[in-house]
Structure 1
Amino acid sequence: MITIGDPVLSDPISALRQLHQMAKRGNVRVPVFIRGDRDFSFRLVSAVPGISVVTDDSSVFDEATFPRLKWNDAKQLLGQEIGSLALDVREHIDVEKLCAISGCIRGGELLFFLVNNEEEPLSGFRQRFIDFSSHANAAMFCQSGLFWLPKASISDTENVVQRETTLGQDTAIDAIERVLLGHRRRPALLVADRGRGKSSAMGLAAAKIMQTAKKRLIVTSPTVANVDILLQHAASVGGISREGKYGLKSDNGSELVFVAPDALLLNRPECDLLLVDEAAAIPLPMLDACLERYSRVVFSTTEHGYEGTGRSFSIRFRQLLDERTKGWKEVRLKQPIRWSENDLLEQWLFDTFLFDAEPNSAIANEETNLRFIAQHELLNDESLLRQVFALLVSAHYQTSPNDLVQLLDGRNQSLITAFKGETLVGVALAQQEGGFDKDLAKAVVAGKRRVKGHLLAQSLATHTGIIDPLLTPLLRITRIAVLDKVRHCGIGRSLLVAMECLARENNIATIGTSYGVNSELFQFWSSLAYLPVRLGVSRDAASGTYSLQMAKALSTTECWLSNANTLFGLNFTLQLHEQYKAMNPYLIAQLLYRIPCIETPCLLAKKQVSLFAEGILGYDLVTGSLWRWFVHWLSLNNAFFNQDRACTALIERVVKRRSWQDVARDCNYQGRKETESAIRLWVSEQLANEKELE
């Protein structure tokens, strides 16, 4: 066990080499800051053998001296295992790439950060980053001759015999086998931080299964690159060889093939076991479909790290497993395989980028108090920063280190918090946008200009052709999060009311938001009088939801909002059978309620619908009239909350124009005849209700 003391003046190169040797004996990685000019940085980096450099500066770190990558190409390192690495962060810090490629460094190596000799941070995030050079796990070498090595202890593991697999991997392999051999519909969920070997465990388990009996296994993941390690470990077992680029085959005829998630759900190939790697990067509806269509499934996900999920995914996916299956098993892999458990770099990354920040669960039984928090308060209070960031992450489907950068550096940003005692229970984050001059606004609408940081205002203007959102100030709610234990207690509503008051005080006439829409969230925002103004036509790659923009006028003079809402209504009804075929029918009904510009069906159309309901006319003869009547009915009735099966079938067939076969299957009817009969009866009941109200 070695512990190094306080800052000293000595030969930095000798000390650096000593640190490298200690890291190798302890099989740990160490973060090292180098503060100095180019020549000083070059001399120190040169003292470490086999080092690679990521920099855009070719004046000193040329490719002939070091393996060098530009920052734009840094992600080429992903999937590799590399030695020591130097990151040039003198000009800027690409936080996402920094965190991503740090996981490629093997135990016993160093991660250097090259910073300026006289660092004068221009942003809050950079100031905090430089401050973490004093972290107990970090080393610092200054051109002045002053340096310090980590205060944290490094255990000597040089003589420790390494197992081929960790105990956690063994448990995971057993759990995967039980999914195949045990009761149906008992999936397993493998959860781990980076470097714990969950992908290799899945590969070894797959190989073991393939050797035992003739089986067909499918692995799916957002990209085929994600499953390289899984395939490599499976192929390393005797009797298993590569079959094409994305598959394996064993001597007994077993096979393991990669199938992309969209192709998996479209073609529904048969298999004995489905492996889903990096599940958090796959939309939740697609994971739900996997559970529905495959009876033996293993999921794996990274919970912390640069690719780590927001806690929203973790919570929602576990809820989905509870609803869909009984007896599903979670396996956590804790022991790292590429470095020792006391790895200095890993804990430094966790602390610096708040990977493991968790909301405080101890809630006082006190009144809720709202507080405005300035960015400098977050920088000066690490505990407060951790609470705020943890709560924001808990409500978000996915997160990245860049979210921390935005929180600390975002311009024109407002943060309102809700506390019960000392516990943070709610957060609302907003950004001021708009306020352009007319010439700039016209250039943006014409597609000639794009201004950073005005996402909602520019999106509304460019997609509707209405210039006003750019000319007047607009406040965009970027995040709102409430601690799970106190949700549905009015805290989120109180935060938004406070944010609206703040906007009025600053003469901002419109407040808006953009989010991945689902039924619960739409109900929340609608209840606060926010109107839908634009709906994205593509689903988010992570959450599987469509992005909905909503806004609320805080002044009677804001007329552009009504025009945008009208345009939304004009387009939405006709987009449903093309762009929104995958949308939940219940959500469609909610979006159509009180939608503007829905024409009342004429008497002739209503007569045709009546004849259909009486069984006199068939569906194919009244399609247009039935569509007109039904869309108008949905715009007037907020009565779909019982999610009636026949009403759902009507939305799927009439509004989304799906085939009778698909509608019958998804709504649990026996073919077209039963489906049409149920629709006819439901329409008859609604027409009778309309007569009673006349």
Structure 2
Amino acid sequence: MFARIKPIEDTVITEYVSALLALKMSATNNNMRFPVFVKGDNDFIVLMLDALPDVTLVSDDWQERSALPWSKAKQFLGQETGSLVLDIRQSIDVDKVCAISGCVKGGELLIFLVSTENSPFMTRFSRFYSHANAALLSQTQGVHLPTLTSDQFESAHFVDGVTEDQRIAIDGINKVLNGHRRRPLLLVADRGRGKSSALGIAAGQIIASSNKRIVVTSPSISNIETLFKHAIIDTSVQRRGKYTLQSSSGGTVTFVAPDALLRESPDCDILFVDEAAAIPMPMLERMLDNYSRIVFSSTEHGYEGTGRAFSSRFRHMLSDNAKGWKECRLVMPVRWAINDPLEAWLFDAFLFDAEPELPPDSGVLTVRVITKNQLVEDESLLRQLFSLLVTAHYQTSPNDLVQLLNSEHQLIVGAFKGNVLVGAVLGMKEGEFDPELATAVVLGKRRIKGHLLAQSLASHSGIEAPLTQPLLRVVRIAVHPSIRRQGVGQTLIASLEQRAIESGISVIGTSFGCTLSLLSFWSSLSYQSVRLGVQRDAASGAYSLQMIKSLAHKQAWIPQLFELLSSNFLHQLSEQYRDMDTMLLNQLVSKISKATPPSKLAMDQVRLFAAGALGFDLVVGSLWQWFIHWLEKNSNHNEIHSQCCLLLSAKLLQRHGWETVARQHGFNGRKDAENAMRQWIATVIKD
């Protein structure tokens, strides 16, 4: 497969240069890209780079020539670049590497400067220097070149500047704009297929011929530079500042960040959501509720690391909320040839396309620890584990692969059916700080890398014990989709808890974006809530809930954390949690509040309100006392999710206006809503 040239000691440097130039010529002639690995001393590297004078170097350590620091590497996003040299000899940020690779256009090289392997991840990574599609130029090992024939490659065919896939996408976008409402379009593709270009061309055509208003949202404005560039189809469309395009006919394309979009709800004729997989699902669901004509664009495989799990979950959400939604998949690469060597190498090296194996129908479930060495040596096992994590968590990134292989304090337990991994739980050991360091962390003077749960609990409560004692944090739990809800998750957690006890760890905890299902799961395993974030998590779009469980013996600081959470939570309902889903809020109140029973006088007022003798404004304090206590005592009662109970929560606890709560819960104004409250309270009081 590879042509081998003698090591450098036996030949002249020109053979290395010739090999590199031949590879560049092959890339140019076939519109494809190659990964190239250069390994040697600085003099050797300089000779290689001087052979390609137009390359851009990204490095934090290079002294001999100008280089772009890694901190600025993401400035390439939204652009097409020539050949790049990435210096990863000291460290590697895989997310940035994968992001940058998608900017390299066909006909160019992506060159890695590498050195001796210094971690489990780099040990595995070094095997891909000799990948079938890669080239290795090593000062001690010689030259390895891929042997590929030109008939393996085919470039896209363009008609009027677009591929056939892009034309179909543009037609689909126009149907969303001009067809029936509530029929969104989902554009799905791997990187480099021209999704953003298609969005831009469609936007330019729309505003050039009309005064339509298009709003574009994306996690970062850099993501939509390609869209804006392709929307300027002729001189009738001009850029007006950083965030807006305007046509001579009065049409506009305006970028609005996702949070501002939901906060301000700007009017538009159609909404484009670019890189939707990097936006939390709850935010996407609210966009779907707020706008009747939407086009979502999502990367299926790529550095975002979210595509496949996102697409699966998002399709389910679309089917539940927009029955007439359509999907358009772009397959043909636009910026490089089919079977591009660099793309194939990226998929293998970073497991972009790893899919869970289908478990056998029968067989006993076995549980065992998976070691880091096993993952490094067993590529099949690593692919199975990583694919489960991607499937279960739609914001898994390539950097998680580094953590999986390199972490020093990680405990992995896998569930197997035969040789097929069907579930896994990842735990991370935290804590055991000395008292002086723990005090510095609580005072905000120090922050130690890792120890996320222990430091969060201590720094937000002022209690040092979570830092000074050993604690195991549940990082991830993933179960094969075909066997979920069969007790595999509970089995994995029980096994992890047992292994924690055997390791001398007496406390286990978890942190997650709080949803009803996750709250129910962890509560069923006797985990206790100890902290709730006051702002939505950027990744999940939900409030982060932290839960703890004592394993060997009770810890005095856990009830202390719960007491602080309980006392603060009830005072945060009308401000910090004003926009929380009321069904989730009711469940949290029922589990977190420590309310005293209402007084006899308060209950008399509640009864008078229920009978229609007193108005809501006169008894709001008494109602609050009774309702909080009632929720706490009825945590397992279906009534807490009834329409009138949710209505009362929105008005009484979150303090929404009458017009808002009446509209949201299907009542005709305040009088109708207040009467419903009276009837419901009268019924539950009798019970």
Does the TM-score normalized on the shorter chain lie above 0.5? yes
Mapping of residues 212-611 of structure 1, within 5 Å: 212-237=209-234, 239-309=236-306, 311-595=308-592, 597-611=594-608
3-state secondary structure, aligned to 1:5: strand
Match of 2:16 among 12, 16, 29: 12
Deviation per CA, 1:527-551: give whole Å up to 9, x if none. Answer: 0000001111111223211111101
CA contact (8 A) 2:205 2:233 kept: no
Q: 1:596 to 1:285 in 2, by over 3 A?
A: closer
**Which residue in 2 is equivalent to 1:676?**
674
Q: CA deviation at 1:382?
A: 0.5
CA contact (8 A) 1:311 1:395 kept: no
Q: 1:602 to 1:158 in 2, by over 3 A?
A: closer
2: CA distance, partners of 1:93 / 1:567:
41
Moved more, 554-563 or 26-35: 554-563
**Which residue in 1 is equivalent to 2:105?**
106
User: Once the two structures are aligned, what percentage of the paired residues are identical?
Assistant: 51
Deviation per CA, 1:117-175: give whole Å up to 9, x if none. Answer: xx1x2211011111210111111111136111124445486998655212211111111
CA contact (8 A) 1:441 1:470 kept: yes
Q: CA deviation at 1:281?
A: 2.1
2: CA distance, partners of 1:259 / 1:35:
45
CA contact (8 A) 1:280 1:542 kept: no
Match of 1:147 among 127, 143, 149: 143
Mapping of residues 640-655 of structure 1, within 5 Å: 640=638, 643-655=641-653
Q: CA deviation at 1:214?
A: 3.7
Q: CA deviation at 1:107?
A: 0.8
1: CA distance, partners of 2:342 / 2:153:
17
Q: 1:593 to 1:152 in 2, by over 3 A?
A: farther
CA contact (8 A) 2:389 2:396 kept: no
Q: CA deviation at 1:57?
A: 2.3
Deviation per CA, 1:459-499: give whole Å up to 9, x if none. Answer: 11111111111121111110001111111100000000001
Match of 2:628 among 613, 624, 631: 631
**Which residue in 2 is equivalent to 1:40?**
44
Pairing 1:90–2:89 present: yes
1: CA distance, partners of 2:563 / 2:199:
52
One-letter amino acid of the structure 2 residue matched with residue 166 of structure 1: T
Q: 1:144 to 1:365 in 2, by over 3 A?
A: same
Q: CA deviation at 1:4?
A: 5.0
**Which residue in 2 is equivalent to 1:128?**
124
Deviation per CA, 1:570-623: give whole Å up to 9, x if none. Answer: 111111111111211111111122435322211121111111111111111111
CA contact (8 A) 1:241 1:248 kept: yes
CA contact (8 A) 2:197 2:226 kept: yes
Q: 1:642 to 1:330 in 2, by over 3 A?
A: farther
CA contact (8 A) 2:658 2:669 kept: yes
1: CA distance, partners of 2:252 / 2:380:
51
Moved more, 227-236 or 506-515: 227-236
Q: 1:384 to 1:158 in 2, by over 3 A?
A: closer
Q: CA deviation at 1:645?
A: 1.0
CA contact (8 A) 1:397 1:543 kept: no
Ranges in structure 2 where 5+ consecutive residues have no aligned partner:
none
1: CA distance, partners of 2:280 / 2:664:
20
Deviation per CA, 1:502-533: give whole Å up to 9, x if none. Answer: 01111211111111110001000000000001
1: CA distance, partners of 2:156 / 2:644:
66
1: CA distance, partners of 2:109 / 2:585:
54
2: CA distance, partners of 1:24 / 1:220:
35
Match of 1:193 among 190, 194, 205: 190
Q: 1:152 to 1:406 in 2, by over 3 A?
A: farther
Q: 1:530 to 1:484 in 2, by over 3 A?
A: same
Structure 2 length-normalised TM: 0.95
Q: 1:427 to 1:156 in 2, by over 3 A?
A: closer
One-letter amino acid of the structure 1 residue matched with residue 366 of structure 2: N
CA contact (8 A) 1:466 1:560 kept: yes
**Which residue in 2 is equivalent to 1:612?**
609
Q: 1:244 to 1:7 in 2, by over 3 A?
A: same
CA contact (8 A) 2:77 2:223 kept: no
CA contact (8 A) 1:533 1:551 kept: yes
3-state secondary structure, aligned to 1:622: helix
Aligned length in residues: 679
2: CA distance, partners of 1:167 / 1:8:
46
One-letter amino acid of the structure 2 residue matched with residue 76 of structure 1: Q
Q: 1:424 to 1:237 in 2, by over 3 A?
A: farther
Q: CA deviation at 1:427?
A: 0.7
Structure 1 length-normalised TM: 0.94
3-state secondary structure, aligned to 1:590: helix
CA contact (8 A) 2:244 2:254 kept: yes
One-letter amino acid of the structure 2 residue matched with residue 97 of structure 1: K
**Which residue in 2 is equivalent to 1:692?**
none
Q: 1:151 to 1:7 in 2, by over 3 A?
A: farther
